[in-house]
Structure 1
Amino acid sequence: MASAPQQQSQLPLFYNALEPLSSEAHANYRARAMDSAPFLINQHTIPITVDEFTLAQRFMPIVFTAGDDAIPIALMGLNEGVNVFIGEDGKLLENNFYVPAYVRRYPYMLARLRPDAQELSLCFDPTSDALGNFDEGEPLFADGQPTELVKNVLAFNESFEQAGARTNQFMGELREMGLLMEGEVSIQPEGAEQPFVYRGFQMVNEEKLADLRGDQLRKIHKNGMLPLLYAHLFSLPLMRDIFARQVQLGKMPVPELTL
């Protein structure tokens, strides 16, 4: 039997509750395709993994959160509550866009059912409209066994967890080498009296990166970190594109802001 859903205060972004997927409790559940993501409408930052840097950097700036436990995030807007890639109906405004894996895994995720549990279990958000005892959609179980859909979902979530572990290792290396610094971007729109300044994030110190020599340089070249660092740096000019999109959408920010 499925245990009681976990409460919201314990859960990551987007998840309102969490319930383990069970062949008994959810024997008649189906998954239906969703063409919109209402939970993204007002979300301007999305966690991403290092596996996604080279894809995401074509569409969104990649920066790092503030603090000692920084994680990489993709910016879908520069201001809180603004997402320039999602319409008011929760649908993408353009088809040629990379949707981060963190978004694509919802409403599923792997989680420990108890704090002392060693294994992760496939869970889902029971408040999502994607899963339920519907007449339409793909079944999750057949004859008490997971269908191919569930097997694919499980494989995707396992890959996501593995990418998360690689991301944690990457961030540990960044901190060890002292390559992160406080970020600041100043954008001066035409006709504005003062620039719009964005702070509250971290970025790679390009000067320190260029000064790396010997063992450190060989290390980041050999372990694959170097192209990831440059993918991050190459994505930063997109912050101005995001700003321009906000202007076009009539969602002008207020000067002196943090991400």
Structure 2
Amino acid sequence: MASAPLPLFYNGLEPLSSEMHGNYRIRPQDRASFVVGQHAVPVTVDEFPLAQRYMPIVFSVGPESVPIALMGLNEGVNVFFDDEGRLRDAQFYVPAYIRRYPYMLARLRPDSQDLSLCFDPTAESIGPFEDGDPVFVDGQPSELVKNILAFNETFEQAGARTAAFTKELDEMELLMDGEVSIQPEGAAQPFVYRGFRMVNEEKLNDLRGDQLRKMTKSGMLPLLYAHLFSLSLMREIFARQMQLGQAPQPQLQPTA
């Protein structure tokens, strides 16, 4: 496969093959060790309505912004998963990016548009185990693998919608550098978080005519407000960090 940079969480990628992985099985997992200490993960626009109930949604800096859900406000801090990768709250919405691992659709050759179902060979959930569900049955993908493939196809489609969404925001110049200042009781100085982008609410409120109608008809408007409403959770995430004894140092604290 091409030596392109690997996505977050992945240590390698192999295409699933009945010849190479005919004896492989998939074990159910009760933890996600790969997410330990990860404070931010990408989310798709399809997830905004659910994710905004639990996590702040911000946008990455750079020329091509990506929506990101924050599970902590500082690098190395995750308030929703413990040190073994188990959920602290069973009701928490786990982003699809995490649920997708260790699988993903990838191009085997740069000159090809075809996507193949691949997996991270270092993952704990798939391998030549004695127990678990088979990956292949009589040389054909099992029902479980078919479901995994369908999930990944849905994820790719949501990713395409998300890319179009963020491109539209950039073209309309609706994103601005974000900053959140949190002053806990008793602290001499505030905790200031930067290093992310957010929707400029003043510009959004000034939209008129065709632009506003277009956003309303396309369904963008409620997604933007979901993002803006979610920012109030910054302080809740901060409070969780304090409760877990993972309070950062004051002053400039990069977020995303």
TM range (shorter): over 0.9
Moved over 4 A (4+): none
Aligned partner letter, 1:258: P
Task: Identify the residue that residue 33 of structure 1 maps to in structure 2.
Answer: 28
Aligned partner letter, 2:142: T
Q: Give how far 1:117 is off.
A: 1.2
5+ residue gaps in structure 2? none
Among residues 10, 13, 29, which one is paired with 1:18 in the alignment? 13
CA distance in 2, matches of 1:133, 1:148: 18
CA distance in 2, matches of 1:229, 1:68: 19
Task: Identify the residue that residue 59 of structure 1 maps to in structure 2.
Answer: 54
Task: Identify the residue that residue 219 of structure 1 maps to in structure 2.
Answer: 214
Contact 2:64 2:167 in 1 (8 A): no
Task: Identify the residue that residue 204 of structure 1 maps to in structure 2.
Answer: 199
2:256 aligned with 1:257: no
2:122 aligned with 1:127: yes
Q: Give how far 1:254 is off.
A: 1.4
Aligned partner letter, 2:186: G
Can you list the C-alpha shifts for 1:20-40, whole angstroms capped at 9, x where unaligned?
A: 000111001000001101111
Can you list the C-alpha shifts for 1:6-48, whole angstroms capped at 9, x where unaligned?
A: 66x6210000000000011100100000110111111000000
Identity %: 70
Can you list the C-alpha shifts for 1:188-226, whole angstroms capped at 9, x where unaligned?
A: 000000000000000000010000000000000000000
Among residues 142, 148, 163, which one is paired with 1:147 in the alignment? 142
SS in 1 for 2:21: coil
CA distance in 1, matches of 2:113, 2:189: 54
Contact 2:136 2:142 in 1 (8 A): yes
What does residue range 170-185 of structure 1 map to in structure 2 within 5 Å? 170-185=165-180
What does residue range 100-111 of structure 1 map to in structure 2 within 5 Å? 100-111=95-106
Among residues 132, 156, 161, which one is paired with 1:161 in the alignment? 156
Can you list the C-alpha shifts for 1:171-198, whole angstroms capped at 9, x where unaligned?
A: 0110111100000000000000000000
CA distance in 2, matches of 1:200, 1:54: 24
CA distance in 1, matches of 2:118, 2:15: 4
Task: Identify the residue that residue 88 of structure 2 maps to in structure 1.
Answer: 93
CA distance in 1, matches of 2:10, 2:112: 21
Can you list the C-alpha shifts for 1:42-66, whole angstroms capped at 9, x where unaligned?
A: 1000000000000000000000001
5+ residue gaps in structure 1? none
SS in 2 for 1:193: coil
CA distance in 2, matches of 1:86, 1:153: 23
Can you list the C-alpha shifts for 1:235-256, whole angstroms capped at 9, x where unaligned?
A: 0000000000000000011121
Aligned partner letter, 1:87: D
CA distance in 1, matches of 2:177, 2:5: 29
Task: Identify the residue that residue 231 of structure 1 maps to in structure 2.
Answer: 226
Would you say how many aligned residue pairs link Structure 1 and Structure 2? 254
TM-score by length of 1: 0.97
Task: Identify the residue that residue 77 of structure 1 maps to in structure 2.
Answer: 72
CA distance in 1, matches of 2:166, 2:104: 22
Q: Give how far 1:118 is off.
A: 1.4
